[in-house]
Structure 1
Amino acid sequence: MSSAAPPALQAKRGLILGVANQHSIASGCAKVAAAHGARLVLSCVDAALPYAGPVAAAVGAPLLSCDVEHAGALETLVRSAATQLGGLDFAIHSIAWAPAADLHGRVTDSSSAGFLRAMHISCHSFAELARQCEPHLSVRGGSLITMSYLGAEQAVPHYGIMGPAKAALESLVRYLAQELGPRGIRVHAISPGPVPTRAASGLEQFDALMQQARARAPLRRLVTLDEIGQLASFLAGDGASGMSGQTIYVDGGYHAVA
């Protein structure tokens, strides 16, 4: 009888950004990746340290502070993570933010400053992360993964300026995949359905959005953090070695019927 297969991410080294608390998407990704054998470093903003700490402790990972709006913060984070882990095999970017005044208003009325901050934090930080990770990724390549939403493809009511930011992010994924592919680096966006995270609670009428997704998705339910984490772990692993440049939905099929 053959022995059991090794964990899917055994010996893989990963950096996961954007842990807010145990209910965040980054937390779900961390828990699944650790269960699959990955060694991790996690990051969060300073305000989230008390809530992200238990997540890091549960997966046995160092927790580092990083605010992507601060010059040099991502460079310092990636260098520290690579030093602690002896290199990197994947990074998961689960960061998005927009000023409330711009998020809750019409895109037509959005301020230039608010729009630019949303694009910097939610989109361009992924390009910067890729640039910082590239020299630390294995000679065999690696995986870079970010989080999008259906509002990148469709005009979702009350999603506001995050829609254009996520649309730019999905386009960025394709360009990074093209540019980094010769190095064996694969780049993906995951597009989950609505999940009750702290970040999502900032959207207007988010409860109605979840109710609609639950009612109309072919699976008639919302997806779980574990299901999002399972997809992220698959994309970070060798089983997805032939895939790059995609936005992959994990939303109970809602995108197919919305």
Structure 2
Amino acid sequence: MNLTGKTGLVVGVANQSSLAWAAAKRLRNAGADLAMTYLNDKARPFVEPLARDLGAEIFEPCNVNEEGSLEAVFEKIARQWDRLDFCFHSIAWARKEDLHGRLTDCSAEGFAESMLVSCHSFIRMAHLAEPLMRDGGSLTTLSFFGAERVVDHYNVMGPVKAALESSVRYLAHELGPKSIRVNALSAGAVATRAASGIEHFDELLDETSAKAPLRRTIDADEVGRAALFLASDYASGITGETMHVDAGYHIEGMVFH
């Protein structure tokens, strides 16, 4: 797949184990020019060497909780490239007490914060990307099986990711007339920094290996390859889709205990 001449934004790289990093590598190796972001000064030392390795032309801070931060990234893209072909969104967050506690006990403030960071940030990205995707484009976000079925210990992130997947469908409907495709990748259990916040995550990895049709978990590069596919012209007829990259775990209808 050749993305030479294409420009894209990857948001959500935290370190070398990030799924967004796997996506960034595949997209760059296919020839795309990349813009990459880092959360804050604490995260920068972990992300900057990765961006340098890929020769990212744009490297900017992006904290979607800070007013104007995401907008500044798109302003830089507009000044430097004046166009954008794809975005890869890999941002999710929840308060520790909400992620580890029952949804029943989640505060309104905690729920709103999770929705703002994990879901509405993707909607904002679509809004900002639309005028730069004059010749069409691709928007991809990351989800998880817990959006569809109850996964123990996923808690507040379940309904938040369900809202994200629903947003994908509505954005696809609205942006389709401009040839902008919107999809989600539902990634299987992978040991990342974000996943480490989920209690008993090792048990979920074991459950996946035992019950998924392929009898294994996935690796990050499988998500990266799927991200490349969705950004490429090979996926030109695919939009509004939640594509599962989970060794088939989602078809088993299992509830993790």
Give the structure-1-normalised TM-score. Answer: 0.95
The one-letter code of the counterpart of 1:150 is: F
Q: Deviations over 1:51-83 (max 9, x none)?
A: 111211111113211000111111111121233
Q: Select 2:62's aligned residue among 53, 60, 66.
A: 66
Once the two structures are superposed, the pairs formed by residues 109-258 of structure 1 within 5 Å of their partners are 109-137=105-133, 139-257=134-252, 258=254
Aligned to 2:4: 10
Q: Which moved more, 1:29-38 or 1:70-79?
A: 70-79
Following superposition, the deviation at residue 8 of structure 1 comes to 2.2
The one-letter code of the counterpart of 1:51 is: F
Q: Select 1:41's aligned residue among 30, 35, 41.
A: 35
The one-letter code of the counterpart of 1:172 is: S
Within 2, Cα distance between the matches of 1:223 and 1:10?
A: 28
1:55 aligns with 2:50: yes
Within 2, Cα distance between the matches of 1:37 and 1:213?
A: 34
Runs of 4+ in 1 over 6 A off after TM superposition: none
Following superposition, the deviation at residue 84 of structure 1 comes to 2.8
The one-letter code of the counterpart of 2:136 is: G
The one-letter code of the counterpart of 2:142 is: M
The one-letter code of the counterpart of 1:63 is: F
Q: Deviations over 1:164-213 (max 9, x none)?
A: 00000000000000000011100000000011110110011111111111
SS of residue paired to 2:244: strand
Q: Deviations over 1:84-142 (max 9, x none)?
A: 334110000000000001110000000111000000000011000100111111x3200
> Quick check: 1:28–1:228 contact (8 Å CA) kept in 2?
yes
SS of residue paired to 2:43: helix
1:95 aligns with 2:68: no
Give the structure-2-normalised TM-score. Answer: 0.95
Following superposition, the deviation at residue 37 of structure 1 comes to 0.8
Within 2, Cα distance between the matches of 1:84 and 1:50?
A: 24
Aligned to 1:79: 75
Q: Deviations over 1:22-74 (max 9, x none)?
A: 11011000001011111101112012111111211111113211000111111
Over the matched positions of the two proteins, sequence identity in percent amounts to 51
The one-letter code of the counterpart of 1:181 is: G
Gapped regions of structure 1 (runs ≥ 5): 1-6
Q: How many pairs align? A: 251
Gapped regions of structure 2 (runs ≥ 5): none
The one-letter code of the counterpart of 2:130 is: E
SS of residue paired to 1:30: helix
The one-letter code of the counterpart of 1:231 is: A
